[in-house]
Amino acid sequence: MRLFGTDTIMMFMIFSIPIVAIVGGITAGIVRTLGNQRLAELAQRERIAAIERGIDPSKLPPPPVPVDESDWMGRSYNPRYRAQGLMVAGLIVTAAGIGTTVFLFMLLPAVGHPIWAAGLIPTFVGLAMLIGAWLVRPRNGDSAAPKV
C-alpha cells in the first residue's frame, strides 16, 4: 500500500483550493491594514519633524485620510453599483443553476431519483439575488452619490 497514492493527492488538492483562498483573503486584509497603518505613522512622524524644525502646524498639509471601505479603486460610492453587482451575480448564478438542472436531467434520465432537482438550489439563489437587486436599486433620482 502506497502512502501517497493518486486518491490521497487528490484529497489534498481538493481541500487546498479553499484553504489557499481563505488564507489569501485574510493575508490581503492584513497587508492592507498594515499598509494604511504605516502610511499614517509616516505622516505623523513627518508632521512631528516639521513642527520640531519650527514650521507652523497650520501651514502643513492635512494628514492622509485612510481609505474608506465603501471606496473601491478611487471611485466614490454610488448606490447603483450595489444593484448592478447583485444583478450581474444573480444572472450568472441563475444561468449556472439552470444549466446544472438541464445537465443532470439529460445525464441521468433513467435513474428513478430526481437528481436534476439539485440544480434548483443555485437557480433559486440566483433568483433571490435578482430580487435583491430589484429591491436595492435606486429610485426617484437617488442614483447620485450621497453628499458628505
Determine the pLDDT at residue 107.
77
Tell me the pLDDT tens digit for each residue of 54-89: 988 888 888 777 655 555 555 566 778 888 888 999
Residues 6 or more apart whose Cβ sits within 8 Å of residue 47: 57, 60, 63
As a whole number, mean pLDDT of residues 22-29 equals 91
Does position 108 have pLDDT exceeding 50, yes or no?
yes
| Max CA separation in the chain (angstroms) | 87
Determine the pLDDT at residue 82.
82
How far, in Å, CA of 52 to CA of 88, rounded? 54
Nearest alpha-carbon partner for 119 in 94, 105, 101: 101
Determine the pLDDT at residue 146.
47
Does position 145 have pLDDT exceeding 50, yes or no?
no
How far, in Å, CA of 7 to CA of 139, rounded? 54
